[in-house]
């Protein structure tokens, strides 16, 4: 698909982007992490499957490994007005990923601190340190 200035889009249509996200969700489901663990009094080594998180960064990594595109920021920000129809799709994908992480952290599947950072939901509290003036006596 051609665009202004002769550039082509790596993801031809918003529908294709949505389709690629569905392929990524299936890939995540089909490819859990294998974690080594040792169980029992004899410490027998076993491999346990751990659910892979569904993240926006992971989606970009998936697209890069598939040779499609490595960064979706142009599609998300629409800086040169070439990606207007993609913006709502990228926003929906980001919300789905953040929702999965938050729900997974709430259920104890993922580390809550890491999940809050990935989803940009970290609680921030300000602390003010009031320094008292120092009075020095010279005798």
pLDDT of residue 139: 61
How many residues comprise the chain? Answer: 139
Place of tokens 């601190």: 113
Mean pLDDT, the chain, integer: 85
What angle is formed at CA 122 by the lines to CA 127 and CA 92, rounded to 5 degrees? 150
Q: Quick one: average pLDDT of 73-77?
A: 93
DSSP state at residue 76: H
Q: Quick one: average pLDDT of 26-45?
A: 92
Domain boundaries, the chain: 7-118
Phi, psi torsion values for 45, nearest 5 degrees? -75, 130
CATH of domain 7-118: 1.10.132.80
pLDDT of residue 19: 98
Token output for 79: 């800086």
- Measured CA to CA, the distance from residue 26 to residue 8 in angstroms comes to 27
- pLDDT tens by residue, 14-35: 999 999 999 999 999 999 999 9
Percent of the chain beyond pLDDT 90?
57
- pLDDT tens by residue, 97-134: 999 999 998 898 888 888 888 767 655 555 566 666 66
């Amino acid at each position: 698909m051609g665009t202004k200035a002769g550039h082509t889009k790596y993801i031809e249509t918003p529908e294709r982007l949505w389709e690629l996200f569905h392929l990524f969700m299936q890939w995540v489901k089909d490819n859990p992490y294998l974690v080594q663990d040792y169980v029992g009094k004899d410490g027998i080594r076993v491999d346990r499957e751990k659910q892979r998180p569904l993240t926006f960064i992971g989606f970009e990594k998936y697209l890069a490994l598939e040779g499609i595109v490595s960064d979706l920021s142009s599609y998300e920000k629409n800086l040169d007005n070439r990606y207007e129809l993609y913006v709502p799709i990228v926003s929906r994908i980001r919300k789905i990923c953040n929702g999965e992480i938050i729900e997974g952290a709430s259920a104890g599947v993922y580390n809550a601190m890491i999940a809050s950072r990935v989803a940009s939901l970290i609680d921030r509290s300000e602390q003010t340190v009031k320094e008292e003036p120092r009075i020095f006596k010279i005798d």
